[in-house]
Amino acid sequence: MLIRRDPDVLSAFLEDAAHFPGGHAAGIALPSSESEVADVLRSASAVLPIGAQSSLTGGATPMGEVLLGTSRLNRILEIGSDWARVQAGVTLADLDAALRAAGKYYPPAPTFTGAFVGGTVATNAAGAATFKYGTTRDWVRAMTVVLASGDARRIERGGAKASSLVPVPTYRMPAVPKNSAGYFAAAGMDLIDLFIGSEGTLGVITEVTLRVLPRRPALCHAFVTFADRSAALAFVAGLRRASHAVAVSAIEHMDARCLSILREDGVDRQLGVPIPDDSAIALLVTLELPAGTDAEQAFDEIGRAHDGSPPDTPLVRLCRMLDEAGVLERVEIAVPGDSARAEQLLAVREAVPASVNARVGRTKHAIDPRIAKTAADMVVPFDRVGELMSMYDEEFARRRLDAAVWGHISDGNLHPNVLPRSYSDVESGKDAIMTFGRAVIAMGGSPLAEHGVGRNPVKQALLGELYGDRGVAEMRAVKETLDPDYKLAPGVLFPRR
């Protein structure tokens, strides 16, 4: 298997979406088969598996390893009645297109559709629809993984226990919808769950069989701004309680700083999505309406929502809840079939992290190369979300840090991001994140919700806060059982020996 070592080739692969500094690689291999993956693992002393390099933790930034890219493992192998078998380098966008053509749907995908399926499995990715559908883990039926030795193993859910291969850690994971914090651990756990979320440290995933929905729902998106954050939180709480009746699958939020960034960059004007100046928070609500619901039917229901006897449908119920909250006139909606408007509303949400990451990158290159993405990914029980938001506000204000917060509010999962103006802001932001993490753990949450741990030293420290030294030592025992030489992704999850 050819390993490219040309600096001009490698330069495109030395940084992931976290702008983690210091990336350098010994070479890159782009295998197109399981056997070629095995060849790379047998010949190299240190290997970092990568997908789309959309990691927000530095986990896909090389530190001297040979990169093993999965972009050529990009075939959709087979689609069944309620499953799809794909190679690891298939993008979520390509998977969705193939499933759409078959009338099927894979719901737990994260918001970045350029991510590779293998990467989402390796990080147990989650996203907006976790509220209804859970994380990637809940949708993986089988996989093929190549171990550090080069040996390939086909693993099916229910086929073997993890304890048949490794000593299963004894720490207890927090009871929240998302927890991407090192190795999964539970009594009697399935072997497949050991590799899901292991961040490429235990094996290279080459193929995955995913569960899919046999019928694709009709999606409806509503973007709504609130002038008062407490009113928005009350509205979200009401939607959560009525989620079945209103057919809610996801609720995302963007705080006031996010909205000001969108206005600064002209995103609101480019996409035709007005953001009133008094907006304190915006929500993006996704409904899953019955398959076959079209724009004409949706607009008819919206128009009849205030009739004396309107139809009792999820869309009518949503309109009434918006009216009761006093925000019906602040809503932008994309009904089923209006893909252009749906893309605009979703693009508003995606523009927030893209704009923040771009600002971090520009500051890094213009001010100080040590500047890196300084952000957290924390989840708490929903009844503590307001408390967490207030803590973010107060701590950032006390430190005089510019910060934006967005996330999957229906899960209680919030992403605070520092917008550093100097390296001292990065250092202060790291301290703030440690403060947040300890508080989140005390609330019964996880300071590592869906992005994983990667190389980020703050996230690695939070992993220690969550499970303690003993828990991290138990993870190392798992690693050393399968990869005693620390060949795979050395420095990811915990520091190198």
Instruction: Return phi, psi of residue 422, to 5°.
Output: -160, 170
For position 134, what pLDDT does the model report? 94
Q: Residue 279 CA to chain centroid, in angstroms?
A: 26
Question: Tens-digit pLDDT profile for the chain (497 aa)?
Answer: 789 999 999 999 998 887 788 899 999 999 999 999 999 999 999 999 999 999 988 999 999 999 999 999 999 999 999 999 999 999 999 999 999 999 999 998 887 889 999 999 999 998 788 999 999 999 999 999 999 999 999 999 999 999 999 999 999 999 999 999 999 999 999 999 999 999 999 999 999 999 999 999 999 999 999 999 999 999 999 999 999 999 999 999 999 999 999 999 999 999 999 999 999 999 999 999 999 999 999 999 999 888 878 889 999 999 999 999 999 999 999 999 999 999 999 999 999 999 998 999 899 999 998 888 899 999 999 999 999 999 999 999 999 999 999 999 999 999 999 999 999 999 999 999 999 999 999 999 999 999 999 999 999 999 999 999 999 999 999 999 999 999 999 999 998 77
Residue pair 66/5 in contact (Cβ under 8 Å)? The answer is no
- CATH architecture of the domain formed by 367-459: 2-Layer Sandwich (3.30)
The matching CATH number, chosen from 3.30.70.2190, 1.10.540.10, 3.50.50.60, 1.10.30.50, for 218-350 is 3.30.70.2190
Same fold, 76-211 and 218-350: no
Rounded Cα distance between 58 and 198, Å, is: 15
CATH class for the region spanning 7-71: alpha beta
Rounded Cα distance between 345 and 405, Å, is: 18
Q: How many residues belong to the chain?
A: 497
Q: Which helix (H) or strand (E) holds 273?
A: none
Extract the tokens encoding 181: 């914090």
- CATH architecture of the domain formed by 76-211: 2-Layer Sandwich (3.30)
Q: Please tell me the pTM assigned to this model.
A: 0.92
Residue 364's closest CA among 13, 14, 18? 18
Rounded Cα distance between 324 and 318, Å, is: 10
Q: What are the sequence ranges of the domains in the chain?
A: 7-71, 76-211, 218-350, 367-459
271-308 as b/e: b if 16+ CB within 10 A: bebebeeebebbbbbbbbbeeebeeebbeebbebbeee
Return the residue matching tokens 């771009």: 358
Rounded Cα distance between 382 and 241, Å, is: 11
Rounded Cα distance between 75 and 68, Å, is: 17
For position 419, what pLDDT does the model report? 97
Facing residues of 205 across strands?
Answer: 145
Instruction: Return phi, psi of residue 163, to 5°.
Output: -65, -15
Q: Residue 373 CA to chain centroid, in angstroms?
A: 16
Beta-carbon contacts of 358 under 8 Å, excluding residues fewer than 6 positions away, are none
Residue pair 47/88 in contact (Cβ under 8 Å)? The answer is no
Query: 269 to each of 20, 22, 274, 275, 341, how far by Cα in Å?
Result: 32, 37, 7, 9, 14
Residue 283 DSSP SS3? strand
Rounded Cα distance between 211 and 243, Å, is: 23
